[in-house]
Structure 1
């Protein structure tokens, strides 16, 4: 493969430390480590995709094994070792993909290979990419060698998910957290590459690429590659921002400001027309929602942001619109819009047509805004749906109305049972079911989970609970439950751990009951009637009206 036929991400992959961008502190530390011969047994490079983890590992390997001694610029034309490492064929530098070699046998083979010293280099180096994918047994097999390797052996790990690596391994490595590439550094790099490749793209296009790449150099170069490929037959024409937006399925965020304005003005037709126009450009609903909540964020925090125009690529007119919305719209409204937007991100995953779900989401925002307006003393002009000069009483009414809208009937029933009396000392827990229910009311989600999934009730009396449990029960469960019971009832409770099997867990009981309900319903006349009318009908789930 010639150099010109390579994709840009490979063609411009850094070969020496000086080629790296955005990682100056880490590069400086590595150089000093080599210069003062303070080289750790194992290096760990972590960070998002495409910022140079594996690249730094290879550059470091070349610097450590350069035939000319300490050389931070060891490249393909420097020495034979540099050439072989760059081409992944050096016998002393073994690069392993942990995603395909995850087992303990692979690590044992590695350890066996490490017993022999380097052939033609100073160090034998193992580069393990995506190291977090090694199995638990593989990590354990590696521990001893990792802690006390021979002087000639060095490990270099790279991972995107450092939290999945056992702490025993992390403690034996010198860790380097690579940062996302800053927008300005990325832009300068793209300008340099586009100049070398003779890609006629203006600065606005390169800014857009820098933003979409989210700090990943590989992603940025892949996007630049996509632009260059689309104009191979007519390279003399410069790319415009509109051209790039069509290629990437991206859209101008200023349109979203108009959409949000129309929502606050209560104009349903205009709101849906704007969204349908965005969708017709091929914009994915999830991309739309991510950009939507980004604009909500900028409106809410406009006062605290600096250089906002450069950070979101909006023109002066759009910035003025953002400022106008910031002045007119109450922060509580924006926070409510944000919450609805986050909820819809989960909802669209279970809907077949995500586009329809987003349209209904926009309609809900319109009605939410209308509900807020109706709570004010006087109906406001459409361009000022929810201003900051509202009275304190009106704001409280609005807040209470929204909260009541969002509460489910199930939550209300539970609150009525335990919180009608404002004196918490009067709470009575007379059964195991009461105990689980009060955990819901008091928002003790973890405690409720343990009671439902890991606890088998043996006996329950006022002030005394006897239970057995499975291996998943947390050690601090008894202490936590005792403390909460005293806080709720102002009485000391005795909790006894029994050897008896006890009742099935609440979760298992519910599953058994649901299965029985399924069988009972399948034998009913109404089910037979439905099957006769719709032969392909299937019973998927059962919901009780009293729980809704």
Structure 2
């Protein structure tokens, strides 16, 4: 049992670069740069939570200001500077949380403070944690000082969101991307900590902690601290106890569920799921773990036990390998797609527990449709004709399921469809290609007529209003450049011409002055009619009777032949 006052994450925080876990390259690079006296103006550390960003920032501050020098940085008996920096109360090393001080005024105060040299240390160092939280104006105010700071001033930035930092700031820093700590290194580390704390834990329990922490040292130590505190004196932390503490269920149950799923044992599948649900496992967590195990079934042949990030122990690994040998890849891929779809649908269901049971039942039926390779046919009772008939039925059903699952146009989710929806589903779609048969387009007028036939109003408007035709022959159309033309006009026209004629047309823009558009022709023609009409004797007689009269428009009346 852990009786220390300090939490493990603080108690075992690295005191030197050698104590760092999984960040050997970063530690060596920084140490070499300090030894060579080639210290950058600013460091930028980025990575997930708990991999050592703030810790390395403090180690940099200690390495630069330690009274013993970089070659022998204090470890146990700390010098005055190192002790003050470790306790975050050194006057020349300022730690600032950008999450609480985001404004430009805070940065201006920082810049003002930087005008004065260090009082007791060699360098004045500003450590800004969560630097991505600074405002745009704050970053802009920092640029000049960041690019050309005084010799005694150094910046150290830490962030989990590197993409939120302006590129102008990133380019002024020496950037270090801290990777997740490898599972084996983290396992060995927390095993040593457990021994130092005089705690007892099995390897499987520690491996579970490593898996949950996802490469974060702080998360691993926090989980270990929680587990050791939960135990009674001299009690050992085993896998089952760890699963209860952290809310994780035994993966062997899920593997057994898969076995019965592939065998079509509906009652046993639901029985195992209910036992998992009774442990307090949320359906969403169950589905994500389901996907994870599904991934291992698909790729187990190319993985080794270390490549599973301690998700599986040796027994579980071998079980999956045995079951996977009898399953076809198409079955697993179908299961994967169906599970992803269920993850999306589960948010709109009021009773998720019932939805999970129906999900598993549907998977059993999908397994049969996907032609599971483990199915054994009784050749003695089934003749060749009946087997072929069964295969044909399975293929038809599989095709129907595939269409439902992999339809790119997602259908309305719901259990009740109204009459309109049912009508739409049952109506036979009319293929466009059935309409476009034997259409001949030899002239520009034929093209406009085709637009009338197929109700392409927008295309017709562009052709009549904004197209100045240069030439029209042999499936080639050349038109004069016009800024008023719609941007998609040529693309749309080419597409429609191909649909209507089944031939590729070449449409090009020309610098030549084309013929007036249909609209312009009508305007010119109308003007000519008006001018001629004004010269006629009828109009002159009208003016004599009505001097203020003015001819505005003319309608041409076609005479009808009376037979």
TM-score (norm 2): 0.70
Cα distance in structure 1, aligned partners of 2:431 and 2:108:
60
Gaps of 5+ in 1: 382-389, 436-456, 467-477, 495-548
Residue 509 of structure 1 aligns with which residue? Answer: none
Whole-angstrom distance in 2 between the partners of 1:483 and 1:102: 51
Match in the other structure for 1:498 = none
In structure 2, what is the Cα distance between the partners aligned to 1:464 and 1:269? 70
Task: Tell me by how many angstroms 1:327 deviates.
Answer: 2.2
Question: In 2, Cα distance between the equivalents of 1:393 and 1:423?
Answer: 36
Name 1:143's counterpart in structure 2.
143
Change beyond 3 A, Cα 1:58–1:315 = closer
Task: For residue 397 of structure 1, report the CA deviation from its aligned partner.
Answer: 5.5
Q: RMSD over aligned Cα, in angstroms?
A: 3.9
Q: How is 1:412-431 mapped onto 2 (pairs within 5 angstroms)?
A: 420=433
More deviation, 287-296/320-329: 320-329
- What is the CA distance between 1:356 and its match in structure 2? 3.4
- Mean Cα deviation higher: 63-72 or 83-92: 63-72
**Does 2:375 align with 1:401?**
no
1:307 and 2:279 aligned: no
Structure 1, 293-302 or 312-321: larger mean CA deviation: 312-321
Cα distance in structure 1, aligned partners of 2:39 and 2:436:
65
Superposed CA deviations along residues 29-64 of structure 1, whole A, max 9, x for unmatched, are 010110111111111111111111111101111101
In 1, distance between residues paired with 2:107 and 2:178? 26
Pair 1:101-2:68 in alignment = no
Query: Matches of 2:114 and 2:199 in 1, distance apart?
Result: 47
Aligned residue for 1:442?
Answer: none
On the 8 A contact 1:309/1:315 being kept in 2, the answer is: no
Q: 1:248 aligns with which of 228, 246, 249?
A: 246
CA–CA separation in structure 2 for the residues paired with 1:392 and 1:17: 65
Matches of 2:220 and 2:364 in 1, distance apart? Answer: 37
Shift of 1:23: 0.4
Distance 1:394 1:79, change over 3 A: farther
Q: Distance in 1 between matches of 2:111 and 2:69?
A: 27
* Structure 2: stretches of 5+ with no match in the other structure: 379-387, 413-423, 440-446, 467-484, 497-504, 510-563
Deviation of the 1:147 alpha carbon: 1.4
Larger radius of gyration: 2
State the SS of the aligned residue for 2:78.
Answer: coil
How far has the Cα of 1:317 moved from its partner? 4.6
TM-fit CA distance, 1:268? 2.3
Which residue is 1:295 aligned to? 293
CA contact (8 A) 1:98 1:130 kept: yes
Change (3 A) 1:176 1:308: closer
- Structure 1 residues 276 and 79: CA distance shift in structure 2, 3 A: same
Conserved? CA contact 2:266–2:364, under 8 Å: yes
Following TM superposition, by how much is the alpha carbon of 1:396 offset from its aligned partner in structure 2, in angstroms?
A: 7.3
1:330 to 322, 328, 331: 328
Task: Identify the residue that residue 343 of structure 1 maps to in structure 2.
Answer: 341
Q: Secondary structure at the match of 2:100?
A: coil
Query: Is the 1:482–1:493 contact (alpha carbons within 8 Å) kept by the matching residues of 2?
Result: no
- The SS at the match of 1:4 is coil
Shift in alpha-carbon separation, 1:199–1:115, aligned structure 2, 3 A? same
1:486–1:493 CA contact under 8 A, matched in 2: no
Shifted more, 309-318 versus 73-82: the winner is 309-318
TM-score, normalisation: structure 1: 0.72
Q: 3-state DSSP class of the match of 2:370?
A: helix
Q: Which has the higher mean CA deviation after the structures are superposed, 364-373 or 331-340?
A: 364-373
Give matches, 1:5-404, under 5 Å.
5-71=5-71, 73-75=73-75, 77-231=77-231, 234-307=232-305, 311-373=309-371, 400-404=399-403
Looking at structure 1, the residues matched to 147 and 63 of structure 2 have their Cα atoms a distance apart, in angstroms, of 23
Correspondence 1:470-485 to 2 at 5 A: 485=492
Determine the C-alpha separation between the residues in 1 that align with 2:53 and 2:431. Answer: 55
Distance 1:114 1:493, change over 3 A: farther
Rate the CA distance shift 1:160–1:318 in 2: closer, same or farther, 3 A. same
Do the aligned partners of 1:67 and 1:79 also contact (CA within 8 Å) in 2?
A: yes
Per-residue CA deviations over 1:169-223 (Å, capped at 9, x if unaligned) read: 1111111111111111111111110111111112221111111111111111111
CA–CA distance in structure 1, aligned partners of residues 135 and 237 of structure 2: 47
Deviations 1:438-495 (A, max 9, x none): xxxxxxxxxxxxxxxxxxx9998356999xxxxxxxxxxx99957864774556599x
Distance 1:272 1:492, change over 3 A: farther
Which SS does the other structure have where 1:225 is aligned? helix
Q: Distance in 1 between matches of 2:135 and 2:262?
A: 53
Contact 1:9–1:222 (Cα < 8 Å) also in 2? yes
Q: Distance in 2 between matches of 1:464 and 1:124?
A: 74
Contact kept? 1:76, 1:86, Cα under 8 Å: no
Alignment check: 8 A CA contact 1:125 1:155 kept: yes
Alpha carbons of structure 1 residues 144 and 416: separation in structure 2 relative to 1, 3 Å: farther
**Alpha-carbon contact 2:371-2:394 (below 8 Å) kept:** no
Q: Distance in 2 between matches of 1:261 and 1:26?
A: 46
Q: 1:236: Cα distance to partner? A: 1.2
**1:370 Cα offset (Å):** 3.7
SS at match of 1:94: strand
Distance in 2 of aligned mates of 1:395 and 1:36: 72
- Match in the other structure for 2:527: none
2:462·2:486 contact (CA, 8 Å) conserved in 1? no
Please report how far the alpha carbon of residue 368 of structure 1 lies from its aligned counterpart in structure 2 after TM superposition.
2.4
CA contact (8 A) 2:204 2:313 kept: no
* 1:331 Cα offset (Å): 1.0
- Displacement of 1:160 in angstroms is 0.8
Larger displacement relative to structure 2 (156-165 or 265-274): 265-274
CA distance, structure 2, for counterparts of residue 485 and residue 272 of structure 1: 55
Structure 1 residues 128, 480: closer, same or farther in 2, change over 3 A?
farther
